[in-house]
Chains A and B, each alone.
Chain A
Amino acid sequence: MSAASLACVIDDDPIFVFATRKLMEMSGFADQIIVYRNGQEALDGLAERLREGRPLPDVILLDLNMPVLDGIQFLERFSQWELPVQMHLYLVTSSINPEDIKMANSFSVVRNYITKPLSLDIIEGLAEELRQAKK
C-alpha cells in the first residue's frame, strides 16, 4: 500500500517535478500526484478541492522560490486555513540561506525542511514518516 493516497508537489521547475514524480512512482510513494506550478495555483487548486469536497493531499512538497506567489507567501495564507484533515507539509528547496530556514520553521504547519536534490533514500524516508504518523 502506498504511503500517501494523494501527494502534492508545488514547484515551478519542470525538471524537478518530473524527477520527483519519477522517484515517487519508483518508490510507490503515492497513489496519485497533483502538481501546482506556483503558490497561487496551489492555493486556488486546494481551495477548489476543499469547496467541492474532493480529497485533499496527505502530503505537500513546497518549493520556496517560485513566481507569482512564493513558498513563504503561500504559507502565510495557507496557515490561516482550517483544514478538516491532517496534512504533512515539507519544504523542499535548494536554498541553504539560514534566514529562509528560520522563516520557514516559524510556520507550525511545516513539518520539515529538505534541501534539494531529492533521492530515492529521502523519498523512502518520507514514506516511513507518513506511515508512522498514520499509526
Chain B
Amino acid sequence: MQTVPTRFVRFLTILPVVISLLVLFGWRNDFTILKSFNAGYTTMKANTALCVLGTSIALMLLSLQSAEAVFRRLVLLCLAIPGIISVLTLSEFIFEVSLGVDQFFIRDKTPPSEHAPFPGRMSQLTALSFLVFTLSILGMNRKDRWGRVSQVLFHCITLVAAIALMGYALRVPRFYSLAFFYSMALPTSICLLLLSVAAAALLPEYGYARLFLSSGIGNVVARRFFPFMFFSVLGLSLLWLEMYRLQAVNIEMGVGITALFFLLATLVLIDSTTGKLNMIDKQRSEAEQRLRNWNTNLEEIVADRTRELTESNRRNQIFVNGAPSAIAMFDTEMRYIAASERWVKDYKLEGRSLIGVSHYDVFPEIGEDWKQIHRDCLAGEINRSSSSHFLRMDGTEMWLMWDVRPWFISENKIGGLLMYTADITELKLKEQEIQSLLNVTRDQNERLRNFAHIVSHNLRSHAGNISMLLDIMTQEHPGVSDWEVVKLLYQSSENLKETIGHLNEVVTISSSVQTNLRGVNIRQHVYQAMQSVSALARERNVTIYNEVDAEMVVAGFEAYIESIILNMLTNAIKYSDTTKESFVRVYGSKEQAYCKICFEDNGIGMNLQVVGERLFGMYKTFHDHPDARGVGLFITKNQVEAMGGKIGVDSEVGVGTTFKVYLKCNKI
C-alpha cells in the first residue's frame, strides 16, 4: 500500500487555482493578457477557469483523506461544476446547437475565428478532459479495477496537456489544436497538466504514479531521471529551434549540438545518479552488515540459552534420578524423562523401564481427577496436597503427600511436569491408630467420670442416711451419746462425709476450665486466704509473709486459685515445727511464660527420696499428724494442671518445705 503524497497533491493544485482566479479576473475586467497568458493566442475561457477551480478544490479536499460524509458531499459539489459544464459543451459540439452555456457566466466579445468559431466555448479536448476528470475522480475512490481505469484516464489527460504544452513551447500549433479540434489555451494546458498529475498522485498504487512514488531503488532513479530528462530535452529542443529560426545554425549543426549537449547532460545526470545510487547501496550494505551482526549475536544468545537450559535440564535429570525422595520428571505428553530410585521403590516399579513411557500406561489406575491436575500444571499451575488417597491396581491403598509443578524450557515455554510424592501411608495408618486410641481413651475417661459421679452420689446418699439415723437415735435416746461406740460412730460418719467431700472436689476438677481462664491477682488472694487461716495460724504460732508482687496476675480460675493458696497455707501451718519460730513466706517471680509462686516454710519438712512421686498421690499421708488426710495435695496438683500449670517441691527434714506453683501469666 503506497501512501498518498498529500502535500505534493496540495502543492500541485495551488497553481491551477491561482491561474483560474487570474483568468476569471481577466475576463471580469477585460485584461486580455490574463485571459491567454500570451497575446494573440487562444484564450482560456471563463467556463474552463470555473472547471479548473472546481476540480482543484475537489482534489484538495480529497488529499485531506477524510472519511466524513460532509467531505464527500463537498467533493461531489465541486465536481458538479466541471461535470455539468463539460457535458453541456460537448453536447453543443456533437449536436451542433447552442445551449447558452458558453457565455452563461461571462460574455466573450472576441469575434469568432477559424480556431475559435464559438466565443466563450472551450475546446473539445478541454471539455472532454474535464468530463474524463469528473468521471475518473468519481470512480477513483472505488478500490477495484475502476481505480486502474481512472489512472489510465488521468495519464491520457496528462499526455494531451503535455502535447499541448510542448506545442506552445516549441511553437507547433498542430500540437495544441490537434488539427480537427479547436486550440487548447496555454493556461488551460498548464492547469490540466498539473491537475492530472495531482489526481494521479492520489492513486499511488497504479500506473506511472507508482513508478514515481514507490520507495524502491528503481523508483529513486525514476524520480531523479525523468524531470531532468524532460527539462533537458525540452530546453535543448527549444534552444535548437530558436537558434534555427534565427538562422544562427543549420539543421545538421543544430542536431549535432543538441546531441552533444544531450550526451553531456546525460553524462552529468548519470554521474550524479550513480553517486546517489552508490550512496544508497552503501547504506544498504551497512544496514545488512549490522543486521548480520545482530543475527550472529542473537544466534549466539540463543545457542547459549539452549546450552544453559540443556545443561540445567540434564542436571535436573541427574538430580531427579539420585534424589532421596520420590521424584519424577515428565515431558508435556506425560512421558517419563527421569524418575528417582525412591519413586521406583515407592510404587514398586522395579524392573520396569520408565523413560519415554507414558505415566498413564505405568499407572492405568490414574483417574480423570489426577489427569485434570496434570493438565492444569502443564498450563502453568502448581498443585499440592498434604494427604491424598490413592488406590493401586493391585488393591493396595496408599496415602500420598504430593507436589506437581511445571518445568520450563524457556521463560514462557513449559517443558513438562515435575512430580514429587511422599508415601505417607505408614504415617497415616499410625495417625488413624492414634486417633482410635484417643477415642478409646476419651471414652474411658468419660465413663470414669460418670462412674466417679455415680459413686460419689451413692456414697453421699448412704453417708447422709447414716448421719440422719444417728441424729434420730441420739434424739430419741439421749443417753446413748455418752456411749463410746456411738461417739466413734459419729466420728466415723463425719470422716466419711469429709472424705466424700474431697472425692467430690476431685471429681469436679474439670479440664475444660483451661479454655476460660481469667486474670487473677495472686497477692490479693493470698491476703484473702490469710484471713481464712488466721485463727489456725495464731493457734499454732505461725507468721505468714505475703511478699508477692502486687502486679502479678496469672491466667487462672478463681475458685481453683483460692483453693490452691488455702491448701498450701493450711499445709504449711499444719506441718509447722512447734520448736521453732515458725513462718510461711509466699513470694513470686516470672519464669518465661510462667508465673512462679513459692510457699516456703521452716516446718518439719519431709524426706523426698522416701516420699517421691507419691507425694501428690491420692490419700497419702507422710506425717504422723492428727489432721493429715493427704487428698489436699492431690487436689491442688489436679487444679494446677487443669489450668495448664505445674507444681514442684523442695524439702528437707527438719529444715522446711518449699512448694513451687507454676501458672501461666495473664497475657495483656
Q: Which residues of A approach B to under 8 Å, CB–CB?
A: 13, 15-16, 19-20, 22-23, 26, 65, 94-98, 116-120
Contacts and interface: CB of A to CB of B under 8 A. Distances in A.
A18 to B, nearest CB: 8
Nearest to A116: B464
A15 B465 contact: yes
Contact of B468 (A96, A98, A119): A119
28 contacts: A13-B461, A13-B465, A16-B461, A19-B465, A19-B468, A19-B471, A19-B472, A23-B471, A26-B472, A26-B476, A65-B457, A94-B457, A94-B460, A94-B461, A94-B464, A95-B457, A96-B460, A96-B504, A98-B508, A116-B460, A116-B464, A117-B464, A117-B467, A117-B468, A118-B464, A118-B468, A119-B468, A120-B471
Contact of A117 (B458, B465, B475): B465
Interface residues of B, number: 17
Contacts of B471: 19, 23, 119-120
A23 B457 contact: no
A97 B456 CA distance: 10
Contacts of B468: 16, 19-20, 23, 117-119
B172 interface: no
With most chain A CB atoms within 10 A of its CB, the pick from B468, B476, B504 is B468
Interface string B473-484: 001100000000
Given A65-B457, A94-B457, A97-B453, A16 B464 contact: yes
Interface in B442-473: 453, 457-458, 460-461, 463-465, 467-469, 471-472
Contacts of B461: 13, 16, 94, 116
A1 B35 CA distance: 155
A97 B449 CA distance: 12
A119 B453 CA distance: 24
Contacts of A13: 461, 465
A76 B544 CA distance: 53
Contacts of B469: 15, 19
Contact of A22 (B453, B467, B472): B472
Given A65-B457, A94-B457, A97-B453, A117 B472 contact: no
A65 B508 CA distance: 19
Contacts of B472: 19, 22-23, 26
Contacts of A120: 471, 475
A119 B493 CA distance: 14
Interface in B466-519: 467-469, 471-472, 475-476, 504, 508
Contacts of A119: 467-468, 471
3 shortest interchain CB distances as A-B pairs: A117-B464, A116-B464, A94-B460
B290 to A, nearest CB: 93
Contacts of A26: 472, 475-476
Nearest to A117: B464
A116 B463 CA distance: 9
B458 to A, nearest CB: 8
